[in-house]
Structure formats: C-alpha cells, structure tokens
Amino acid sequence: METSTELMEQVQEVLDKLRPFLLRDGGDVELIDVEDGVVKVRLLGACGSCPSSTITLKAGIERALLEEVPGITEIEQVF
C-alpha cells in the first residue's frame, strides 16, 4: 500500500502536467489534501471564479487523476 506522501506526489505530478493549460487561461490549481481516495484542490486565479471551473475540475482534472493515479476515486473543490 502506498503512503499518503507517495500518493500526494503522484497527484501533484498530474496537476503539474495540467498546470500550463490552467495558467494559459489565467488560473491555477493548488493541491490541498488526499484523503481516502478523495483529492482536495483549490482553484486559483481565473479558475476560482470561472463558470466553467466545475467542468474543468470534473472533466479535466478528475479524469486525468483517475486514469493516472491508482486509488483515486473523486476530486473535491475546497474554497
């Protein structure tokens, strides 16, 4: 079983791959925590107030995490 530190690092790697796309639109994402397969992130900059942020979160970030990091079940936005 992976440690939470290893899981956090894997999640951060995926977020780092997605970051240039968010930055291009004036936003960013911050990893807050990973707990019981749930990734908690905060959307920053333009992403925090964008009406499409839920779609970005679920269709983009969550899909990438589910595909690339075993054990991740969901993504949750914290404010």
Q: How far, in Å, CA of 56 to CA of 28, rounded?
A: 11
Q: Report the run of H or E that residue 65 belongs to, with start and end.
A: helix 63-68
Higher pLDDT pick, 1 / 52: 52
Q: Which domains can be identified in the chain, with CATH numbers?
A: 4-77 (3.30.300.130)
pLDDT digits (tens, 9 = 90+) for 16-64: 999 999 999 899 999 999 999 999 999 999 888 878 888 888 888 999 9
Residue 2, pLDDT > 70, answer no
Separation in Å, CA 24 to CA 20, 45, 53, 67: 6, 11, 14, 23
What sign does the dihedral 57-59-63-64 (CA atoms) show? Answer: negative
3-state percent helix, strand, coil for the chain, nearest multiple of 5: 50, 25, 20
Q: Residue 15 — pLDDT band, cuts 50, 70, 90?
A: very high
